[in-house]
A and B are shown apart, each in its own frame.
Chain A
Amino acid sequence: MSPVLTQIAWIGRRSILRTLRQPAAIVPAIVFPLFFLVFMAGGLSSVASIPGFPAPTYLSFALAGAFVQGSMFAGMNGGADLALDIQTGFINRISLTPIRGVTLVLGQMFGALGVAFLQGTSYLVYGAISGVEFQTGLPGALAILLAGFVVATAFGTLGALVAARTGSAEAVQAMFPLFFVFMTFSSFFLPRPMISTRWFRTIADYNPVSYFIEAIRGLIISGWSARELTLGLGLASAVSAAGLAGASKALKTRLARS
């Protein structure tokens, strides 16, 4: 294995172990989106009877939102972990080794990906038990898990960017309201064609989170769609690349400073 991959593997292992040792961080990240999903599915079940609604039940429609919401929590926790490493001086000590910023950020994502895996599995199981018919079957379920990883990486690199620039876990947590706004001003509650308020529809059209959700939603309610997957996962990858570049650059400055 190349030295870079070895470094990523070690940092990743540490990140996963650290995440597993913090149930207080994992449990809410899994439970909160599930809780929201259950309430939405129960409270909005009648919405599925509106003509033109694209799914047989509101639960099958809303399930994708839980994946993206969960990925948001997982990603933010990843960013907060990096910020804690900065605050506790771990990054200072790492600066004495040949590890590069990009390696550190990528390694730190493994904890978030581990949480995203637990979340994804929980939501898939919940959906299956509750009668959601996955139009893409078992391969689709695996694709949903993978898409969850890609979206968690996008949010995680954004969290890492904030962490690397501010060095504060509080600042990363303070991003929650902003991420939450992105989440709600999207096709989270209703499909975009059914959003009748023009200004909201425009925001949802330009909001990448709409496409993250629709990529996963398509796999659940309509089948394989190259367009939805390319748009959603392509945008998530672009956000990840931008976040990773920004975080690595900020971390490089921080490593040089310390």
Chain B
Amino acid sequence: MRFRRFLSVTKTVTARNIHNYLSSPALLIPSIAFPLVFFLTFLGGMGRIADVPGLVIPGGYKSFQFTFILFQASGFSGIFSGFAMAQDFERGFIRRLMLAAPQRGGIVAGYVIGAVFRAVIPGTVLFSVGLVAGVRVEGSALEVVLLLCLAVSFTLIAALWSCGIAMRLRTIQAAPLMMVPFFLSLFLTPVFLPLAFLTGWLQTAAENNPITRILGGARGLIAGRPNGTGAAFLVAALMAALLTIWSWRSLRRAERAGG
């Protein structure tokens, strides 16, 4: 019974988030355009980076860059879900929702699943453009599915983080707090070149950044040379688990504050 209530709330909140996303060009267009602009910039403006002496990238440099852009787009979809939640707090919608929802965990689940849906459209467009632009997907069907699973898990991680912030601060002014740590963590990975080609403190930071493992696993999958896939999924699962606790505690805090 409790689970059915949870599902019912989740379904309603997810449907609302999807509807808002699809019916608002201000949300839909940037979510598709931004990853494309990044991809085209990396593809067109930085192709010669592949000429760095000693650089050998399985699957080619385009695939290497494409994977980063895919994860960036997936992550931002999660972050934007936190923005949506913060706005709903400001408008008083969540206060009403908390009064009505028999299982409040379903509210968070609704935003998080909505984030996954938000990631599907830009991800699909990006993948299509990538294939047309010559990104080599050398992984098998199973490896591509695993790559997409990692991307989805990254959306979940970002959504749980940003929704946690939204529930704690309950204002859209907290947007930089959702965005900046995420942005920093993402850029403290081997963005442009593999780990071995980074220097100084950036290399140390990237080595110790868990997102490097996720990204590394994904890059191995797209290149058809899985390397550290298990570690990537393990790190993603651990991060998702920790952030689920974080968002659950944030929900309790929001409840205590009265929404």
Q: Are B45 and A50 in contact (CB under 8 A)?
A: no
Contact of A89 with B by CB under 8 A: no
Residue in A40, A177, A190 whose beta carbon sits within 8 Å of that of B48 in the complex: A190
Binds B, one of A3-11, A141-149, A195-203: A195-203
Q: How far is the CA of A190 from the CA of B30 in the complex (A)?
A: 26
Q: Are A195 and B44 in contact (CB under 8 A)?
A: yes
Shortest Cβ gap from B44 to chain A (Å): 3
Contact of B3 with A by CB under 8 A: no
Q: Are B53 and A50 in contact (CB under 8 A)?
A: yes
Closest to A188 in B: B45
- Chain B positions within 8 Å of A196 at CB level: 47-48
Contact A190:B45 (CB < 8 A) given known A42-B201, A181-B37: yes
Q: Are B34 and A177 in contact (CB under 8 A)?
A: yes
Contact A46:B55 (CB < 8 A) given known A177-B34, A181-B37, A185-B41: yes
Contact of B7 with A by CB under 8 A: no
Q: How far is the CA of A13 from the CA of B35 in the complex (A)?
A: 40
Q: How far is the CA of A190 from the CA of B190 in the complex (A)?
A: 18
Residue in A45, A49, A190, A194 whose beta carbon sits within 8 Å of that of B53 in the complex: A49
Q: Are A43 and B191 in contact (CB under 8 A)?
A: yes
Q: Are A46 and B191 in contact (CB under 8 A)?
A: no
Which chain A residues (31-54) contact chain B, with CB distance < 8 Å?
Answer: 39-40, 42-47, 49-51
Q: Are B51 and A185 in contact (CB under 8 A)?
A: no
Size category, B interface:
20 to 34
Contact of B49 with A by CB under 8 A: yes
Q: How far is the CA of A87 from the CA of B49 in the complex (A)?
A: 46
Contact of B120 with A by CB under 8 A: no
Contact of A184 with B by CB under 8 A: yes
The 6 closest A-B pairs by CB, nearest first: A200-B44, A42-B202, A197-B44, A184-B41, A43-B192, A46-B197
Query: B residues near A, CB below 8 A?
Result: 30, 33-34, 37-38, 40-41, 43-49, 51-53, 55, 187-188, 190-193, 197-203
Q: How far is the CA of A43 from the CA of B197 in the complex (A)?
A: 8
Q: Are A43 and B193 in contact (CB under 8 A)?
A: yes
- Chain B positions within 8 Å of A185 at CB level: 40-41, 44-45
Q: Are A189 and B202 in contact (CB under 8 A)?
A: no
Closest to B133 in A: A197
Q: How far is the CA of A46 from the CA of B49 in the complex (A)?
A: 9
Query: How many interface residues does A have (CB within 8 Å)?
Result: 27
- Chain B positions within 8 Å of A39 at CB level: 187-188, 191, 202
Q: Are A49 and B43 in contact (CB under 8 A)?
A: no
Contact A195:B48 (CB < 8 A) given known A42-B198, A42-B201, A177-B34: yes
- Chain A positions within 8 Å of B198 at CB level: 42-43, 45
Shortest Cβ gap from A250 to chain B (Å): 24
Shortest Cβ gap from A77 to chain B (Å): 16
Q: How far is the CA of A204 from the CA of B41 in the complex (A)?
A: 11
Apart from the given pairs A46-B53, A46-B55, 6 other A-B contacts in the complex at a CB distance below 8 Å:
A42-B201, A50-B48, A50-B53, A184-B38, A185-B44, A200-B44
- Chain B positions within 8 Å of A45 at CB level: 197-199
Q: How far is the CA of A199 from the CA of B203 in the complex (A)?
A: 33
- Chain A positions within 8 Å of B192 at CB level: 40, 43-44
Closest to A174 in B: B26
Residue among B52, B190, B201, B203 facing the most chain A CB atoms (10 A cut-off): B52
Q: How far is the CA of A200 from the CA of B47 in the complex (A)?
A: 10
Q: Are A195 and B52 in contact (CB under 8 A)?
A: no
Shortest Cβ gap from A54 to chain B (Å): 13
Q: Are B46 and A190 in contact (CB under 8 A)?
A: yes
Q: Are A200 and B191 in contact (CB under 8 A)?
A: no
Shortest Cβ gap from A258 to chain B (Å): 28
- Chain A positions within 8 Å of B203 at CB level: 42
Closest to A198 in B: B44
Contact A189:B45 (CB < 8 A) given known A177-B30, A177-B33, A181-B37: yes
Q: How far is the CA of A46 from the CA of B194 in the complex (A)?
A: 11
Q: Are A50 and B41 in contact (CB under 8 A)?
A: no
Residue in B47, B52, B55 whose beta carbon sits within 8 Å of that of A197 in the complex: B47
Shortest Cβ gap from B223 to chain A (Å): 20
Q: Are A46 and B52 in contact (CB under 8 A)?
A: yes
Q: How far is the CA of A8 from the CA of B152 in the complex (A)?
A: 54
Q: Are A184 and B30 in contact (CB under 8 A)?
A: no
Q: Are B53 and A42 in contact (CB under 8 A)?
A: no
Q: How far is the CA of A162 from the CA of B203 in the complex (A)?
A: 42
- Chain B positions within 8 Å of A44 at CB level: 49, 192-193
Contact A184:B53 (CB < 8 A) given known A39-B187, A42-B200, A42-B201: no
Contact A197:B43 (CB < 8 A) given known A42-B202, A190-B48: yes
Q: How far is the CA of A174 from the CA of B198 in the complex (A)?
A: 34
- Chain A positions within 8 Å of B33 at CB level: 177
